[in-house]
Structure 1
Amino acid sequence: MKIGAPRETRPGERLVAATPTTVAQLVALGYDVAVESGAGSEASFDDASYVAAGASVVGHDEVWASDIVTCVNPPADDDIARLRSGATIVSMMAPAARPDLVQAFWHQGVNALALDAVPRISRAQALDVLSTMSNVAGYRAVIEAAEAYGGMFAGQVTAAGKTAPAKVFVIGGGVAGLAAIGAAVSLGAQVRAFDVRPEAGEQIESMGAEFVQAQAAQQEVSSDGYAQAMTDEQERLTAVMYAQESAWADIVITTALVRGSAPRTITADMVAAMRPGSVVVDLAASGGGNCELTVPGSVVVTDDGVTIIGWTDLASRLPKHTSQLLGTNIVNLMKLLTPGKDGQIVLDMDDVVQRGMTVTLGGEVLWPPPPVQVSAAAPAPVAAAVSAVDPVVAARLAAEAARRQSQRRLATYGLGAVLLGLAVAFSPPAFVGFFTVFVLAVFVGYYVISNVSHSLHTPLMAQTNAISGIILVGALLQIGSDDWWVTSLALVAATVASINIFGGFLVAYRMITMFRKDA
């Protein structure tokens, strides 16, 4: 079968659905690949590179006559008419918002697979085009902000004085938000971020940002993966927090987009309170914008000197790498649809991934798809109804339980103090000095390690390896002692330290290998 990759016709689009690298992978699956002349020119891929990869370069009509056509954006009406009955079209379609497009595919008798309808399950992550585009958009948002911002992201200390780092506030801890956080942190900015999902806090902190704690404004997540609707009180508290953080920040990056719609997070009053020269990058501009003053597809500068960037093509502004990532998503899809690696597409509607992204098939409209069962585990049994408890009684019981716990804690501390006093009173004088050093080392080690940033955990691992090396040397010196008790402790210490040293170096080597270009 032949796969065709046409040139994108949407004004300003620079992406292409196939690159020379992905063409070679499709050819290895047994397909003939046809690329429209000039399809990759905006992404720095010339026709000669496609030919060298095994593709044929053809005209517009011929590429749309292929058995399978893959493109970035939904095809225009005249291109749909060029598809032959029984052909397969693979692209982003937004079928939930484009019923006219679904009807056009059905009327033409083609099989339509929506790249932006891939089920959000682990097995389908390699096909997830939305995550790919969001990741690139988050990175590009920081680049756009850096260009519009009138200062450096990283703080500088020079002979002429010092400058403070840029302050960045990111709204949303999803794929786009985390990508923006990572880019801003790598440039040296001071980054704070918020997400309505409390479980996103750990991910935000792992990227080197500070998670804004607003417990009353955070929500539980519904079964479909989206945050539940806010109460009026939650909306009020969230608005207060957004106002405080936007006034603090030099750059605000918003990423909140729910089912294609952008909730309002930054009001005109909040923008007015920002310092002149500040920047707002609205990644949700395609859904109307999170900022009240966003104009989709444009850049606005307010009377107070705040720049609001509402580009809707951020991923397309990095066409070379975005096309490569998007093309890899399509290759992974074709691997799923070509189990025999013989160049023959096989659509299996019993596969939840294929069924979830199939819009039309064999003259039938299959959109919307049935719900995806995320877990194969049996549903949890329904808990028996519990009778209501008097709040006064509940409060009294809770107070009593807290009092008993406090008494047990005091008793434990008292017993520990007595045992420690006995140990000091009946031990040799040298023991007191050794024990003091041990206690101080425990306290110092705890407070030092607990306050280390996530981004420094790998260097910290190397430091602990050095400490374990000192322990190993000390243990080896004591193994020859005449006291069997000292020898036993030295043997245990040497064994544990060796495990820590060799295990730490293996983990560090594995992590460093991940960042090598030739890995």
Structure 2
Amino acid sequence: MHIFFPKEIADLEQRVAVVPETVKKLIAAGYTVSVEKGAGLKAAVSDAAYEKAGATVAGDVAQAWQQADIVAKINGPVQHPELKKHEAEMIKEGGILIASLVPANELDAIKILMQRKVSCFSMSLIPRITIAQKMDTLSSQASIAGYKAVLMAAAQLGKYFPLLMTAAGTITPSKVVILGAGVAGLQAIATARRLGANVEAFDIRAAVKEQVESLGAKFIDIPVADAEDAGGYAKEQSESEQERQRQELAKRLSSADVAITTALIPGRPAPLLITEEMVKGMPLGSVIVDMAVSQGGNCALSEPGQTVEREGVTIIGELNIPATVAIHASQLYARNMLNLITHLTVEKQFNIDLEEVVTDGALLTHDGSCRHEHSRSLLEAS
């Protein structure tokens, strides 16, 4: 079977879904591989490096889409600016697409994929189980985002992060508050601590307290009943519970130099953690990095894709933080992609076994239907 990796054309994207290392392993697994010309340049991978690894570099994009048995990429299908055609219409009927679709945001693409009977696997839907950890792009990319968010805050903040003792006097360490202690939050804690900041972190899941403290941060303990779902994600909280949390967090933020928010709830808008009043209560010159801005944001004053100043506080709303670390983000994503493809390969053939747990969880569309329950309900309502 033949796999084609196109150049990513979504706004702000600099990553690529394949690197020479994974090209070699895909070929060893029985696949032939082609990569669109220039696909890896923004991630520091040349066309020559792909060719050396055994891939073909494709110049005719439309033909490459049509000839591929499998098209594998990072972002879900979008309108191609040069070909004036939607990518979901470019893959051959009955073909296979693997990408990180977020179903709630890409219903039009899903409809086209269903019409064309494309079997579409969403990397965003891979189940959170032990066997699938090596395929988990959400975790690999969130880790990078958590690291870079701290660096973005440090670059914007007009202070040192660490304690500094000089002949001119002592500089006290900055205080950083991390809201959400999932993969991104834990990496943000670790990075801020390595830079020498004092760190506090909050998560509604009490189970993460030990992880937060093991990284040298103080856990902000605001007890919440039934805060975690069966998949280990945070549950949506009642408005009264959210208000109680905001009151306590306002006290912590009133002395914070940096706040980094990472709280997301799968399939729903991001919870509001920092209100306008809370921003007003923060010190002048402080910085907020809202990592949930693409899903509505955790801060009431953040603006998608913009860095703005409100009430003397700088609020960073970068939409695609992993893409700003394109080299390593691409390497990790490519390994996740390789691991999914090889997991679904039986005797050097891509195998769609509807009873297999990873296939069942990640397969969004197949044979003209939508297999993902929440996506079906959204399609019916649209």
TM norm structure 2 = 0.92
Encode CA deviations 1:89-131: one digit per residue, 9 max, x unaligned. 1001112443322221111122111111101111111111111
Encode CA deviations 1:246-298: one digit per residue, 9 max, x unaligned. 11210000111112411111111111111111000000000111111000110
Once the 2 structures are TM-superposed, how far is the Cα of residue 219 of structure 1 from its aligned partner? 4.7
Residue of structure 2 equivalent to 1:8: 8
Find the residue that maps to 1:326 and give its secondary structure: helix
Residue of structure 2 equivalent to 1:348: 353
Q: Is the 8 A contact 2:235 2:265 kept in 1?
A: no
Distance 1:30 1:249 in 2: 54
Encode CA deviations 1:476-509: one digit per residue, 9 max, x unaligned. xxxxxxxxxxxxxxxxxxxxxxxxxxxxxxxxxx
Once the 2 structures are TM-superposed, how far is the Cα of residue 136 of structure 1 from its aligned partner? 1.1
Q: Is the 8 A contact 2:146 2:188 kept in 1?
A: yes
2:42 is aligned with 1:64: no
When residues 232 and 296 of structure 1 are mapped into structure 2, their CA distance, relative to the original with a 3 A threshold, is closer
Q: What do you get for the CA RMSD once the two structures are aligned?
A: 1.7
Distance 1:309 1:355 in 2: 37
Q: Is the 8 A contact 2:74 2:100 kept in 1?
A: yes
Once the 2 structures are TM-superposed, how far is the Cα of residue 72 of structure 1 from its aligned partner? 0.7
The answer for unaligned runs of 5 or more in structure 2 is: 80-84, 376-382
Q: Map 1:1-400 to 2 at 5 A.
A: 1-59=1-59, 60-65=61-66, 66-77=68-79, 78=85, 79-215=87-223, 217=224, 219-231=226-238, 233-259=240-266, 260-302=268-310, 304-340=311-347, 342=348, 344-368=349-373
Q: Is the 8 A contact 1:23 1:53 kept in 2?
A: yes
Distance 1:10 1:214 in 2: 39
Distance 1:271 1:364 in 2: 46
Q: After the TM superposition, list the runs of 4 or more consecutive aligned residues in structure 1 that deviate by more than 6 angstroms.
A: none
Distance 1:250 1:200 in 2: 23
Once the 2 structures are TM-superposed, how far is the Cα of residue 239 of structure 1 from its aligned partner? 1.5
Task: Answer 1 or 2: which has greater helix percent.
Answer: 1
Find the residue that maps to 1:318 and give its secondary structure: helix
Q: Is the 8 A contact 2:260 2:290 kept in 1?
A: yes
Q: Which moved more, 1:46-55 or 1:92-101?
A: 92-101
Encode CA deviations 1:378-422: one digit per residue, 9 max, x unaligned. xxxxxxxxxxxxxxxxxxxxxxxxxxxxxxxxxxxxxxxxxxxxx
When residues 218 and 300 of structure 1 are mapped into structure 2, their CA distance, relative to the original with a 3 A threshold, is farther
Encode CA deviations 1:442-499: one digit per residue, 9 max, x unaligned. xxxxxxxxxxxxxxxxxxxxxxxxxxxxxxxxxxxxxxxxxxxxxxxxxxxxxxxxxx
Distance 2:316 2:217 in 1: 22
Q: Is the 8 A contact 1:196 1:219 kept in 2?
A: no
Once the 2 structures are TM-superposed, how far is the Cα of residue 55 of structure 1 from its aligned partner? 0.6
Q: Residue type of the partner of 2:37?
A: S
Distance 2:284 2:215 in 1: 28
Distance 1:188 1:126 in 2: 31
Distance 1:68 1:118 in 2: 18
Once the 2 structures are TM-superposed, how far is the Cα of residue 359 of structure 1 from its aligned partner? 1.6
Q: Residue type of the partner of 2:255?
A: W
Distance 1:17 1:310 in 2: 24
Q: Residue type of the partner of 2:359?
A: Q
Distance 1:191 1:351 in 2: 42
Find the residue that maps to 2:112 and give its secondary structure: helix
Distance 2:240 2:58 in 1: 60
Q: Residue type of the partner of 2:309?
A: V
Q: Map 1:424-439 to 2 at 5 A.
A: none
Once the 2 structures are TM-superposed, how far is the Cα of residue 231 of structure 1 from its aligned partner? 4.5
Distance 2:365 2:241 in 1: 41
Encode CA deviations 1:349-390: one digit per residue, 9 max, x unaligned. 1111111111222333323389xxxxxxxxxxxxxxxxxxxx
Q: Residue type of the partner of 1:28?
A: A
When residues 235 and 85 of structure 1 are mapped into structure 2, their CA distance, relative to the original with a 3 A threshold, is closer
When residues 61 and 232 of structure 1 are mapped into structure 2, their CA distance, relative to the original with a 3 A threshold, is closer
When residues 218 and 147 of structure 1 are mapped into structure 2, their CA distance, relative to the original with a 3 A threshold, is farther
When residues 218 and 201 of structure 1 are mapped into structure 2, their CA distance, relative to the original with a 3 A threshold, is farther
Q: Is the 8 A contact 2:33 2:54 kept in 1?
A: yes
Q: Is the 8 A contact 2:89 2:113 kept in 1?
A: no
When residues 232 and 305 of structure 1 are mapped into structure 2, their CA distance, relative to the original with a 3 A threshold, is closer
Which structure's relative contact order is higher, taking Cα pairs within 8 Å and 6+ residues apart?
2
Encode CA deviations 1:52-85: one digit per residue, 9 max, x unaligned. 1111101212331211110111122522222112
